Structure 1
Amino acid sequence: MGQPSISYTVPSVSGVVYNWSYSGTGVTLIGSGNSITIDVSHGATSGDLSVTATNGCGTSPARTIALNVLPYMSWTCGAGNNNWNDPANWDGGFVPYGTINVVIPASASCQPTLPASFSVRDLTVAPGVTIEVPSGEVLTITGNASIEGTVCGGYVVLSGTSAQTLTGHGTVCSLKLDNPAGAVITPGDSIHISHNYLPGDGVLTTNGGLVLLSDSLNGTATILAPVGPCTNYINGNVVVNKWIHGGRRAFRFLGHPFSVSVGLDQLTDDIDITGQGGAANGFTPTLTNNPSAFWYNTLTGNGSAVNDSTGWIPYTHTNGVGVNSWNPMQGARILVRGALGEGIGCTPCANPSSVSYDMTGPVNMCDVTVNLQTNANVGYNFVGNPYPANIDMSMITTGSAVGANFSVWDPNQGVYGAYITQPFNFSYILPAYSAFITTSSSNTNNTIQFTEAAKTASESSDNLFKTTGSAFGPGSVQLKISSHNDSLNWDRILLFTDGSATAGTDLRDAKKLTNVSLDFYTKSSDGNKLSVDFRPVISGDIIPLGLRADSQFNYTIKVTDYEVASGLQLYLKDKFLNIVQPMSEGMIYSFQVTSNPQTQGDNRFEISAGTISSVAGLDNAPGLVITPNPATDNIQVAMEGLRGKSVVTITNLIGQTIFTASTEGDNAVSLSVASLQPGVYIVTVINDNETRTARVIKN
């Protein structure tokens, strides 16, 4: 059964020639004389081992021993535990060697866990059985594998010297091929990957049986970048799955990872897609047959951020023929209503269920390049992630005519979703099977090159507002707007204070793509609404902000990144309420949008630039005591040794007077600060003889 060589010995007699033989197959006899060793190869059969002794008097009768060659060792759980290394758990009474075939049957009362990396020859895993491989460890298979159950935890590595065969319909969490001779999935069988497939050495011939899974527990399985130089590492189709969380009836930006065009009929067995002609054209029929799937035509797009009806073209058939082809590296905007049959003919529609869809085709491998288009307008292009893997967008290469930013559609923002725009040169994990929008200004130098190195096992950037420190580096400010106790994000602004930029619209800026329900943006000096704004900022500058909100809610503006030049201080000003608040990372400003049109629009908010006031050490200036400090509701301002009339003022850090009071002599003054926004304020007492200043912090 593939165990190491075994020795057999008979008594030694002088002058005798020994002749050994074996009646079975697959056993090699090594040596001569009265002692030999035997080597049992894969596929050997049982038989009799015989030896005769010959001398001048003749040949003796044969001495014979029956050898029972088992084709495999079987896990029995005889010790009653799941320890792979316990000999009592195996029917052979010892732990299998790396050259032994191993079977894990469904009949055993417990299932094995490897304590560390291990190697077997052939492996058979019965239905319902799970083998646990410790994380970071490897189960190496040098022969063939029949997997009907599950092997999870660490990697399963196919590492034979001749072509290996995979059979069954089971699941492997992480699979690696490291065999120059390759491996083949038996036609009609399917190996399911729940985490990732890692190409090493050799080609995996799938016969359509490699399935990448996706669910709420394990996420979406991917094909990682190959180890070493990239050559085509998969031969045949791959089935990919994508799980979509329920609760959101929203459009999604989708892409497919195939090197050939496909049709929407790859999706219509899992989700409802509606369109012209209804069922006759492969769509789910409705009373109106309004389209729910679109592609983007750069050549006819009008470049409008508000209504690009000439750019978004509805699919008119699901067959993938002609203009209805879903091409490689092309995005598709598709309304996901929920599971099949949900969200049709309802107003309003209930929260949709989670749903998974699957697609099949030959996947893109190694470097792939997409050529963008342009027109006389902005030149928007809708590009799909070309790989069955998450990619880091900062790792792709763009031509000089390609815009500096890209936009994704986040279906979890607001009520119906919203655009988020990001510079290419900052890390952003784009999920597998998704798409993005970017621009091209020319038909030359207009390429985007994706490489295997851009693939990443990191999770996708589902929460676009989770950052640690200033995620966008020096000079960056990120503002987000949310509601419902910060549980519902609506939009964000990225501002970069850069002396080499201009206050107008330049190449590094991104024009604002209009959302369904709310837009938050800066205004350039030439009047454009921007979602990414590079501009020089010095003390005294004003940066106009704009807000459009369909819903009358209580909102918050939060500074989630703040790293400006030393000595520069930015302030958020609410011009409607005449409130100024110094900005810092983590600062939150609450406000309300009502039916009053002045509570939104281009004149509600602005950012002003000033300098950091030198108020350190003035919490209790000599002769001026403020209690309590910090304060929440009221402060007591006590002045010692003053005569005559004094004026007490409270100002913010850019010098705006909040209110003023008068007092005589050294009488204390009680002031209410309850209405002030949290922040730092300056209390100044001006007397005929002197001026005293101190800082107060409002919680």
Structure 2
Amino acid sequence: MFSQTTEDFEDESNASTTFTSNGQIFSISSSENFDINAACCGLGWNGTSGDNKTIDNDGFTSFGGGTSLTIKTNDNTDFTLKSFYVYISDIFGNGPSCSLTVQAKKDGSNVFNFTKSSGFETINLGVNNGFVFIDLSTEGGSDNSNTLLDEIIITTDGQGDYLALDAFRWDVASACTDPDIPAVTATTPSICNGGNTNLIVSNSSSLNDATNWHIYKGSCGGTLIGTTATGVFNVSPNVTTTYYIRGEGGCVTPGSCGAVTVNVGNSANPGFAYNAGAYCNNEPDPSPIFIATPGGTFSSTNGLVITPNGTIDVSASTPGTYPITYTTAGACPTSTSTNITINALDNASFSYSSTAYCLNDPDPSPNSIATPGGTFSSINGLVIASNGTIDVSASTPGTYPITYTTAGTCPNSAIANITINALDDPSFSYSSTAYCLNDPDPSPNSIATPGGTFSSTNGLVIASNGTIDVSASTPGTYPVTYTTNGTCPNSAFANITINPADDASFSYPASAYCVSDSDPSPNSIATPGGTFSSTSGLVIAVNGTIDVSASTPGTYLITYTTNGTCPDSASANITINALDDASFSYGASSYTTEDADPSPTITGLTGGSFSAAVGLNINASTGLIDVSASTPGSYTVNYTTNGTCPNSSTFNIDIYPNTYTWTGNSDNNWNNTANWDNNIVPHSDGNVIIPNGLTNYPTATSVITVNSITMNDGASFIAQASVNGAITYNRNLPTTNWHLVSAPVSGESLDDIIANNDLASGTGGNLGLGYYFNNTTAPWIYAQSTSNIGVANGIGFSIKLANPGTLSVSGSLNTTDILKPISLGSRTNFNILGNPFTSYINSATFASTNSSILAEETLWLWDGTKYVTYNAVSPIELAPGQGFFVEASSNGNITFEATNQSHQTTDTFIKGSENSYPTFELFVERQNERRSTKVFYVDGKTTDFDNGYDSKIFSEDASDLKIYSELITNNEGKKLAIQTLPNADHATMIIPVGLVAGADQKLTFSVSSSNLPSGIEIYLEDRVSNTFVNLSEGDHTITTKADINGIGQYYIHASSAKLSNEDITQNISNVSIYKSANNEITVAGLQAKGNVKVFSLLGEELVNTDINSSGLSKIALPNLSTGVYVVKLNSILGNITKKIILE
């Protein structure tokens, strides 16, 4: 055994990681270089003075993260640590900002630990050489100086990078006896909430070497609530609690606990409440509205009648204030009290000086109130203030209950009746407020309260009953007063005026007037401002002016009525004499120079004379008109009587020629007389002829009515308003070939066309008139002599005459937009249409207007031997009666816009129009049969499909000779009659040419070009014979060895360079792949071997086939579902991948 030892390391070896103290070896371990360090100059601290050796980490290598040191007995011997000194600094020797943690372990388990977080910031070398004392009996808030351990760990953080330790005071662990597990009881095991009891450790339980009994709750070693050395500890739990007690402190190791449970019974809440703190004797008996713990008992002092359950009998209780106490039942009873007041009712009696008042009495107030300060009230009709003052003049007569309600602690009410009597109603009235001296004497027509007396001032003679003697009164205004004689007399007055009568005399300058005279007015009116009137027939103004011309002849009584205070009337006779009747008429308002001479019918006064302007040959006495001797024009015939009152009348006569021929000598205006051969605009019976070969053709902007209009071949007429009259359009067909035509009028029928034209005859009764259908096996169905079908507006049809001549159609003029349905067909989507107007329409404008339902903006016309294609780059002005084809993209209505009409000086029937674009036309000719395809170069267009500028050939063309081009980019097999390309880099655009011809046929290629850039020439490339031919220098003739049907052999080059066989190169960019049918794809432009594969979008290979193409190869597809597929072509020229859509 030995006592505490302080190790100052002075006899230890420098740089050693062990030290020996009193024979016990301790080892030093660390995260960095901790060992015994021989510091110079007494910089250590042995507890009382400086020394030279410490344990430190001199030469540490980490910065800013702190350090750690472990000291442990080498044989796990237990010891107790009493204290030590530490010096802590940062890398510069300054006081650091850090924490120090000390952890003790025994047999590898933690026995205690604490952290010191301050005291290192400023190092004062003058105090303990800067060392800080760590006392384990107090540091960390607990005494750990006697706790057994075999290992101590000292750690810093933050800036505590350097650590030195000295004066390590320790002691060897002595023999130690652990305390008994105590037997514990409670003096009162069950208490009420708020009570307490003592926990008692049995005298038979000993602390041994422990210092105190430690009391915990929650668990043994759980929440420490206190310690005791006596074995007695007082607790006051508010809930049932188990307490755990064991001996601790000194050298002992805490062990198991003794336990005891204290049961806590809660005292019941005695709280209760009433809905008020005071009640009046007349209120319902109250009971508690709230009892926190029911089942207890209520009580109070004498005077308050209350039941044990708390119900108060207020009517039986004596007024006063009482304490009410409620006591709970149960093991922990408790009570509480509150005061309740019982109040007596107020005395509400009151009175007025009288029980009845009149409306004109002074306002009364109560003369007695037993309990002042309350409020008076009554029912509607009585105006009463809250203090009881009655406003009798504002109240409605009647009897009213007045209620007085006190405002005391216990308000009470009393009621008394008061009567308000109305004043007599003195109102009265006369039938008028003014009377004339000659009026009957008036009496009042209404007296509200009869029996009173009437009176007035001097000048008005009035009886007491109110009757006025107007004739005896002096004119003027008088107040008439009426006074009642009832219980409450009252008076009223009204003004009455007595007026003299007006002077109504008047006169006119004469007593008789004619209807042609100036309108007369009175020349004298005694009292102006009145009103004139007369009997029916005389038109007279209220001011007396007579409208003689509007009046019916006759004698009339005119009355003048003044409008003064007392109106009066006077009368006079006036006579109106009629003019002579000059009526006459002719049988018609217009005549032609070929009609019979008309005479007038005079229905008025005969014997007058006729006259008219020069040009109309008329007999002045009889009115007979010599129309053949008259000059055509418009005339007014005048007839004048010679009676007492002469009169005249007129009749308009138009003399017309019979026929009118349009000359257009001035302009296009229909209503300009200078445009007609006789300088007269056609009248309603006229027959109009519009010839051809003119410069100006008519445009009508207003409604026209004529007998007929005949239009010759090539003539045009634009009507912007309705036209009444039969229209006949004559179209010259110079051959007996088939022609596509239409009816440029409305209302024509096939029967009329058959009857009025020399149609060719065919087999089976067929005539030379065919209708086109896109859903029948045969495209054309021919009319027969029994056909009874109307010709729809805008429809086209085919005509073949038996002999060259004129096709004549008749009907009415189309003047507004025409809608014509087109449809998709089962065989094709082509529809035949025709110009419905008697004027020209532009094909490009028409196609653009209807682009949404057209497959492409293209029109196909038949020129008598072949189909000709027109689009935006080669438009045509469609002549009246011109038929043509379009291709539908959907079902819908085609619109022929009336605004698209125009006049042309040249007939364009089956003829094209000139254009200025660079272009060439490639021809192929077989004997007398010739076909062509056109190419245009236009700025802004592409090598892909340009709708309106690229157009297919007409697929219904049954000829076995065809030539066409196909697209350079994104070629999908469209066979183009017209292709439009960019107007640049001409030589780089190699155009695929398709040819359809039989074997052993002699074909001649030729070209016609215009407006091409200087030096550009057209070359035909033949990839089968590997040749170039300059078609600009001359024609090229071949003989086919086999049937030709498609592209791949021939290509067109437009080049300024001379091309020869050496320029022939194969290029994959000239190869195209497209779907040519739902079960077929076509590879065009390949002159080599290749491999074609078809894949689904999921990568499944569906087709794999080799081809040896000479320009065109068709690959059959298996039965594939609708969708998108990928086609891959591999060849020596390169590879192509393209998506196709199968529908």
TM-score, normalization by structure 1: 0.51
The correspondence of residues 421-440 of structure 1 with structure 2, limited to 5 A, is 421-424=869-872, 426-440=874-888
AA partner of residue 101 (structure 1): T
Distance 1:70 1:318, change over 3 A: closer
Deviation per residue, 1:609-657 (Å, 9 max, x gap): 65x44xxxxxxxxxxxxxxxxxxxxxxxxxxxxxxxxxxxxx7378549
Question: Does residue 1:237 correspond to 2:726, yes or no?
Answer: yes
> Which residue does 2:144 correspond to in 1?
none
1:545 and 1:191 mapped to 2: Cα distance? 52
1:639 maps to what in 2? none
Kept after mapping to 1: 8 A contact 2:873/2:936: no
- The Cα offsets for residues 364-414 of structure 1, whole Å up to 9 and x where unpaired, read as 1133233432357752221111112233223432242324433333334xx
Amino acid at match of 2:745: F
The equivalent of 1:652 in structure 2 is 1059
State the match for 1:329 in structure 2: 794
Q: Secondary structure at the match of 1:557?
A: strand
Amino acid at match of 2:857: N
Output aligned runs, 1:215-614, within 5 Å: 220-223=714-717, 225-226=718-719, 230-232=720-722, 234-246=723-735, 249-260=736-747, 262-274=749-761, 288-289=764-765, 292-298=768-774, 300=775, 309=777, 312-315=779-782, 317=784, 321=788, 324-334=789-799, 336-339=800-803, 354-375=804-825, 379-396=829-846, 397-412=849-864, 417-424=865-872, 426-443=874-891, 447-461=894-908, 464=911, 467=914, 471=915, 473=917, 476-481=919-924, 490-496=931-937, 501-503=942-944, 509-513=950-954, 514-516=957-959, 518-524=961-967, 525-534=971-980, 539-549=987-997, 552=1001, 555-561=1004-1010, 563=1012, 571-575=1019-1023, 579-581=1027-1029, 587=1032, 589-594=1034-1039, 596-597=1041-1042, 602=1047, 605-608=1050-1053, 612-613=1056-1057
Residues in 1 aligned to 2:948 and 2:626: alpha-carbon distance in whole angstroms: 72
Question: What's the offset of the Cα at 1:47?
Answer: 7.3
**CA 1:575 to 1:292, structure 2 compared with 1: closer, same or farther past 3 Å?**
farther
- The question of whether the paired residues in 2 share the 8 Å contact of 1:398 and 1:447 is answered with yes
Alpha-carbon distance between aligned partners in 2 of 1:40 and 1:504, rounded to the nearest angstrom = 71
Partners of 1:175 and 1:363 lie apart in 2 by 23
In 2: Cα distance, 1:598 partner to 1:373 partner: 35
Helix, strand or coil: the match of 1:326? coil
| Residues 478/149 of structure 1: CA separation in 2 closer, same or farther (3 Å cut) | same
Aligned pair in 2 of structure 1 residues 176, 515: CA closer, same or farther (>3 Å)? farther
Summarize the Cα distance change of 1:144–1:581 in structure 2 as closer, same or farther, 3 Å threshold: farther
Letter of the structure 2 residue corresponding to residue 521 of structure 1: Y
Counterpart in 1 of 2:1123? none
CA shift at 1:176, angstroms?
11
Go from structure 1 to structure 2 and tell me whether the alpha carbon gap of 1:600 and 1:560 turns closer, same or farther (over 3 Å shift): farther
Q: 1:400 aligns to what SS in structure 2?
A: helix
* 8 Å CA contact retained: 1:245, 1:355: yes
State how far apart, in whole Å, the 1-side matches of 2:937 and 2:752 are: 44
Q: Deviations over 1:293-326 (max 9, x none)?
A: 332334x26xxxxxxx35x2414545554xx443
Label 1:206 to 1:70 Cα distance change in 2 as closer, same or farther (>3 A).
closer
CA distance in 2, matches of 1:146, 1:653: 75
> Does the CA contact (< 8 Å) of 2:830 and 2:886 recur in 1?
yes
Cα gap change, 1:255 to 1:497, in 2 (>3 Å): same
- Cα distance in structure 1, aligned partners of 2:874 and 2:677: 31
Seen in structure 2, the aligned counterparts of structure 1 residues 260 and 24 have a Cα distance that, compared at 3 Å, is: same
TM superposition shift of 1:599: 8.5
Could you tell me which of 666, 673, 690 is aligned with 1:193?
690
Letter in 2 for 1:257: P
Cα gap change, 1:548/1:121 in structure 2, threshold over 3 Å: closer, same or farther? farther
CA offset at residue 174 of structure 1?
6.2
How big is the shift at 1:522? Answer: 1.0
Measured after TM superposition, the shift of residue 329 of structure 1 is: 0.7
The letter of the residue matching 1:198 is P
Unaligned runs of 5+ in 1: 1-21, 28-38, 49-67, 74-99, 103-119, 123-141, 162-171, 215-219, 275-285, 302-308, 340-353, 614-650, 658-699
TM-score w.r.t. length of structure 2: 0.33
Q: Deviations over 1:248-306 (max 9, x none)?
A: x32211110223362254234422354xxxxxxxxxxx6544564332334x26xxxxx
Distance 1:461 1:479, change over 3 A: farther
Residue 543 (structure 1) shift: 1.9
Match for 2:887: what amino acid?
Answer: T
Do structure 1's residue 204 and structure 2's residue 648 form an aligned pair?
Answer: no
Q: Which is higher, the Rg of structure 1 or of structure 2?
A: 2
Is the 2:768–2:783 Cα contact (8 Å) retained in structure 1?
A: no
Letter in 2 for 1:516: S
Opposite residue 1059 of structure 2, the aligned amino acid is N
Distance (Å, rounded) in 1 between the aligned partners of 2:829 and 2:916:
26
Q: Secondary structure at the match of 1:266?
A: helix
Whole-angstrom CA distance in 2 between matches of 1:242 and 1:432: 8
Percent identical pairs in the alignment equals: 16
C-alpha distance in 2 between matches for 1:289 and 1:420? 30
C-alpha distance in structure 2 between counterparts of 1:479 and 1:553, whole Å: 16
Tell me the distance in 2 between the aligned counterparts of 1:173 and 1:243: 25
- Count of paired positions: 427
Q: Secondary structure at the match of 1:231?
A: coil
Given the superposition, is the C-alpha separation of residues 452 and 491 from structure 1 closer, same or farther in structure 2, using an over 3 Å criterion?
A: same
Contact preservation (8 Å) 1:26, 1:42: no
CA contact (8 A) 1:392 1:456 kept: no
Output the CA distance in 2 between the equivalents of 1:377 and 1:202: 45
Closer, same or farther: CA 570–440 of 1 in aligned 2, 3 Å: same
Inter-partner Cα distance in structure 2 for 1:569 and 1:160: 53
Distance 1:290 1:319 in 2: 10
Seen in structure 2, the aligned counterparts of structure 1 residues 606 and 425 have a Cα distance that, compared at 3 Å, is closer
Report the residue type matching 2:976 in the other structure.
L
Give distance in 1, aligned partners of 2:951 and 2:938.
15
Cα-Cα RMSD: 4.7
Distance 1:462 1:546, change over 3 A: farther
Q: 1:394 touches 1:427 (CA, 8 Å); kept in 2?
A: yes
- The 1-side partners of 2:670 and 2:1040 are apart by 66
> Higher relative CO (CA 8 A, sep ≥ 6), structure 1 or 2?
1
Instruction: Say whether the 8 Å CA contact 1:265–1:319 is kept in structure 2.
Output: no
Using the TM superposition, give the Cα deviation of residue 331 of structure 1 relative to its aligned residue in structure 2, in angstroms: 0.8
User: 1: CA distance between counterparts of 2:727 and 2:910?
Assistant: 29
Q: For 2:683, which of 178, 183, 199 is the aligned residue?
A: 183
Flag the 1:529–1:287 CA change in 2: closer, same or farther, 3 A: closer
Kept in 2: contact 1:155–1:175 (CA 8 A):
no
Work out whether residues 661 and 676 of structure 2, in 8 Å CA contact, stay in contact via their aligned partners in 1.
no
**Distance (Å, rounded) in 1 between the aligned partners of 2:910 and 2:1061:** 34
Q: What SS does structure 1 have at the residue aligned with 2:1035?
A: strand
Q: Which runs of 5+ in 2 are unaligned?
A: 1-606, 636-652, 1065-1143
